[in-house]
Amino acid sequence: MKNKTINCRSINNVKSNSRYKFKRYFFVIGIIINSFLVQKIVAAENGVPYFQVRSESVRQVRRMVGNAKQIYHTNKDTFYGLFTMTPGYGESFDSNAIENSLWGSFLQTRNGKKVLPISGSAVANRNKYDLLADYLFLPPDYQSQLSFSPSIKNFFVDFAFYFGLDEWYPGAWLKVWTPFQNTRWSLNPKEEVLDKGIRGQPAGYFDDTSEGTVRGNLLDNALDFFDGGVPTLSSQVIVKPLSSARIKNGTKTKNGLADIRVAAGLNIINDEDKHLGAGFLVAAPAGSKPRGDYIFGPIIGNGAHWEIGAAITSHMFLWNSSESKEHVGLYFDANITHLLETMQTRCFDLFNKPMSRYMLASKMVPPPALVTIGLQPSLLTDDKLWVNSTPASGQDAEQSTYQFGRIYSPIANLTATRVMVSAAVQIDAVLMFNYTKENLTFDTGYNLWVRSCGDIQFDCNCLSQLLLESWALKGDAHMYAWGASDASGGAAVIDQPVALAATQSTATAFSGAAMQQGNTNNAQLRNIGIDNPQYAMINNPDNTNPPADSDQLVYQKGLAADTVSNPNMNQTRSSQPSSFIRRSDINLYPTTKSLSHTLFVHLHYVWDHEDSMQGSFGVGGEIEFANNNNSAIKKADINKTLTLTKTIQSNLKAPESCAYTSISQWQLWIKGGINF
């Protein structure tokens, strides 16, 4: 073998070129990271429909600490490797940031604490941003406030393999890692009932019972509704319990592997005092998918995305003493990936209607369809609904094209839909300072995690209920009326309950459309504020002629018909045409992005053995600070609505907005390894 001669000038040139490569490398990484830090922060004034967290597999710190003496060898010409196992525990803090992400600016500060207030339509001087208790099957005089103390606790065991492939190619390497995780999510809701309420809901508001829905048949409290409770209504009315965006009292737990990640690459520079390597990175989903069933539900992994990207690894000794067997080094690793599109189920609000997931929808059907849902024939008076634009008159009346189909559902059940989600980039970057003295190493440093705004769109293969059925916002409309006591149709129509077609597209989660109009002459009972109001009439189904002037539907059983000289007293209204919720009304935004800053420390010891096996053990921890600065909009600005063009609606896509979500947390771990 010939001896190679290297002069001092050559060595200096190599060092100079290496420094240049490192400077250029760090400059490029800085540009990439900075581009995501300066993204425009969009206010999450309405809260986010999905709370995004960091996958436990996206924690490069745990793969780096303690490994300074054990990988990236320069004098190997055979296979070598390292297996590590890192069990640990972590817990979130700063629950206020999680609250703000979920509820936005609708949290109100009362008596020094943040609460989500709920009040009925009859509560005096109610705040205009209180959730309307009537939608939750509670009394109109009910009043309470919800408080939350959300937390996330994680037990994890991180498994990582490093293989040096120098026997095949000098400087080549392969990494495989995955964590097993037990995650426990608790929203910890507490409801302080300020007034339990004694009033029931009036006749016709929910069902066809002439005495209305008494207090005992309504729910006891708001948490009953949020956990899927339903009231006791007429046997002819079906109430679907809340099945999406639920608020659960207690802890929700999941167990399983997070993503499985594989990186393969090559050290471009591989000297004793420095190295620079790069490779490909692939992540296979092994965790859980969002299902939309809970507003704060546990997730393991990255949301079931495949990821592709690059892995970068490097170090440089700042000082090295072979005599004392100690050195000081600076290490930098970064994993940069693109999250490929995956299908998830999420629950959303409607456009310009924050918190509308907790409003109530009524199903509308053409009158003949009522006979197909198992109702008793003797009660099928619904085909008697006619409408007219003139009060107290049957002339020019026409049959209603739709009626209430006797089914209620929370909006959340209808807006929970399959969507396709992706994210342009995710960065997990670690800058680590290492001090090694013989077999003992000390690591400390900084970790940056960035996940860009998610791109979200409807899954075109999913036929939601809103595409197959006709649903409308109920608001505070009355869904039933009765034939006038002096109607000309006789027993077939007098005092008979009839399902209306009343819809309220202008209702919000905080008030119904009738509440916004006032209550002169019982206007709310007569369905003021509904969409396209027409005066409701009743007609004998055997009669092919228009109804008589006295054949009116009145808001309460036993009332007489209005007269032309004295209208707008008892006669109620129905919508013609009704206004339905369409899939294009679903607001898929704001989507989410993440940014966090983590500080960590770790102490590790490596045992030397004469044979090829070496053991190591260490302890460490970190504290992560999440950026949840979403600068909520003032409540005075919430009513400023977005102008949606026909183009946007036809594309079924919302104006894009993005909000930060992540958790601040601490973690402690122990790390053991075998070097072979």
User: Residue 12 has what pLDDT?
Assistant: 42
CA distance 235 to 497: 14
Q: Residues with Cβ < 8 Å from 225, sequence gap 6 or more?
A: 136, 137, 138, 219, 242
In a domain, 360, yes or no: no
> Cα–Cα–Cα angle for 80, 82, 83, nearest 5°?
140
Q: Degrees (nearest 5) of the Cα angle 582, 414, 412? A: 120
Question: Do 18 and 154 reside in the same domain of the chain?
Answer: no
User: Could you identify the residue written with the tokens 């109530």?
Assistant: 360
Q: What is the DSSP string of 219-284?
A: -SSHHHHHTT------TT-EEPPP-SSB--SSEEEEEEE--EEEEEEEEEEE-SSEEEEEEEEEEE
Domain's final residue, options 575, 598, 629: 575
CA 266 – CA 313 distance, rounded (Å): 10
pLDDT score for 572: 96
Q: Are 33 and 45 part of one and the same domain?
A: no
Q: pLDDT, tens digit, for every residue of 280-329?
A: 999 999 999 999 999 999 999 999 999 999 999 999 999 988 888 899 99
Asked if residue 406 belongs to a domain, the reply is no
Q: Is residue 48 part of a domain?
A: yes
What is the model's pLDDT at position 111?
Answer: 87
Q: Which residue bears the tokens 């003992």? A: 440
Q: Which H helix or E strand runs over 454?
A: strand 454-458
CB atoms within 10 A of CB 421: 26
Same domain (yes/no): 142, 254: yes
DSSP state, residue 218 = S
Q: Are 222 and 253 in the same domain?
A: yes
Would you say residue 473 lies in a domain?
Answer: no
Residue 405 lies in a domain: no
Same-domain status, 389 and 419 = no
**Partners of 203 in the beta sheet?**
none
* Residue 358 is assigned to a structural domain of this protein: no
How many domains does the chain fold into? 3
In terms of domains, do 377 and 520 share one? yes
Q: Does 135 lie in the same domain as 78?
A: yes
204 and 253 fall within a common domain:
yes
Give the per-residue pLDDT at 333. 96
Which domain covers residue 501, as residue numbers?
367-400+478-529+533-575
Same domain, yes or no: 170 and 269: yes
> Does 329 lie in the same domain as 417?
yes
Residue 557 lies in a domain: yes
Q: Could you give the CA distance from residue 171 to residue 183 in angstroms, rounded to a whole number? A: 38
- Quote the CA–CA distance of 255 and 473 in Å, as a whole number: 38
Question: Which residue intervals of 509-592 are DSSP H helices?
Answer: none
196, part of any domain = yes
Are residues 174 and 114 part of one domain? yes
pTM: 0.86
Give the model's pLDDT for residue 522: 79
- Chain centre to alpha carbon of residue 538: 45
**Other Cβ atoms within 10 Å of 526 Cβ, number:** 26
Q: According to the model, what pLDDT value does residue 120 have?
A: 96
**Omega before 590 cis (within 30°)?**
yes
Interval 564-619: pLDDT, tens: 999 989 999 999 999 999 989 999 988 899 999 999 999 999 987 656 678 899 99
- Exposure class string for 462-497: b at 16+ Cβ within 10 A, else e: eebbbeebbbbbbbbbbbbbbbbeebbbeebbbebb
What confidence score (pLDDT) does residue 609 get?
64
Beta bridge partners of 430: 333, 447
Q: What is the pLDDT of residue 116?
A: 96
Nearest to 483 by CA among 556, 549, 541: 556
- 164 and 19, same domain (yes or no): no
Residues of the chain under the 70 pLDDT cut: 1-46, 368-383, 462-463, 518-521, 541-544, 609-612, 630-656
Cβ–Cβ under 8 Å, residues 283 and 235: no
Tokens for 397, please give them: 């009346």
- Residues 160 and 60: their CA atoms lie apart, in Å, by 11
Q: Is 609 exposed, middle or buried (0-12, 13-18, 19+ CB in 10 A)?
A: exposed
